[in-house]
Amino acid sequence: MSRRSGILEFAVLGLLRESPMHGYELRKRLNTSLGVFRAFSYGSLYPCLKTLVASGWLIEESGSTPADALAAPLAGRRAKIVYRLTAEGKEHFEELLSQTGPDAYEDEHFAARFAFFGQTSRDVRMRVLEGRRSRLEERLEKMRISFARTRERLDDYTLELQRHGMESVEREVRWLNELIESERAGRDQRRSDPSDAAQQDTSGETGGLPRHRDSTRPDPSDDTAT
């Protein structure tokens, strides 16, 4: 399985965990809610769905009423197929959510992982965020070294492009710092109030999100920020 197809399978399972959908609804959610999938097409989606069905993680159901099912053949239309997550599929998705290896920090996979942070445990969120920050700090250091070595040989436009790239990475690092600080503050608050922790410490809570002070936070799916 390629990394890109693996990301798509992860996102499909995550969306179907929320509710069953047919192919058009899935594609729309992938394009609008998860910006990293804007370039995906039906040609990518349906082979992915078939693979997930064959693996036992999804089942196909008719999305039509009995009357629609009878009318569809007469009208020459195919009944809509709705995809539903199986118990095995839910278990597999939860296993994927718990993974915090290097793939979770990479550009496209991080965007997909972040989109499902609401379904992810706090400890896993922290490890993914810290791993992403570490990866970007390493990248930023390399960019600065390269910029210092080559700036005398580059024209103004190329220099400006490199500055833009560094600023984008710096902006994402600042955003990650805010998220990590908020996650830690939320965890510390729950530790200091055990009675409140019993009510709020669920795998899908999102109390760690910072209040947005402005509109400059980066889009995790923005290629310029990685």
- pLDDT (tens digit, 9 = 90+) per residue, 170-183? 999 999 999 999 99
- Confidence band for 224, pLDDT divided at 50, 70 and 90: very low
- Confidence band for 194, pLDDT divided at 50, 70 and 90: low
**Could you tell me the strand order of the sheet in which 58-62 lies?**
21-22, 81-85, 58-62
What pLDDT is attached to residue 116?
A: 92
The mean pLDDT value for 123-136 works out to 96
- Whether the CB-CB separation of 169 and 146 falls below 8 Å is answered with no
- Confidence band for 210, pLDDT divided at 50, 70 and 90: low
Task: Give the tokens for residue 109.
Answer: 């996979």
What pLDDT is attached to residue 199?
A: 46
What pLDDT is attached to residue 44?
A: 84
Quote the percentage of the chain above a pLDDT of 70. 69
What pLDDT is attached to residue 71?
A: 47
Q: Over the stretch 48-86, which tens digit does the pLDDT of each residue have?
A: 999 999 999 999 998 654 444 454 454 555 668 999 999
CB pairs under 8 A, 24+ apart, for 97-105?
A: 97/121, 97/124, 98/124, 100/124, 100/127, 100/128, 100/131, 102/131, 103/3, 104/128, 104/131, 104/132, 105/131, 105/132, 105/134, 105/135
What pLDDT is attached to residue 106?
A: 87
What pLDDT is attached to residue 32?
A: 79
The mean pLDDT value for 5-9 works out to 85
Nearest to 40 by CA among 108, 114, 107, 110: 108
Q: Which residues of 102-117 are buried (b: 16+ CB within 10 A; e: fewer)?
A: ebbbbbbbbbbbbbbb
- Confidence band for 201, pLDDT divided at 50, 70 and 90: very low
The mean pLDDT value for 178-203 works out to 67
What pLDDT is attached to residue 82?
A: 96
What pLDDT is attached to residue 114?
A: 92
CA 106 to CA 102: how far, in whole Å?
7
User: Is the pLDDT reported for residue 141 higher than 90?
Assistant: yes
The mean pLDDT value for 181-201 works out to 65
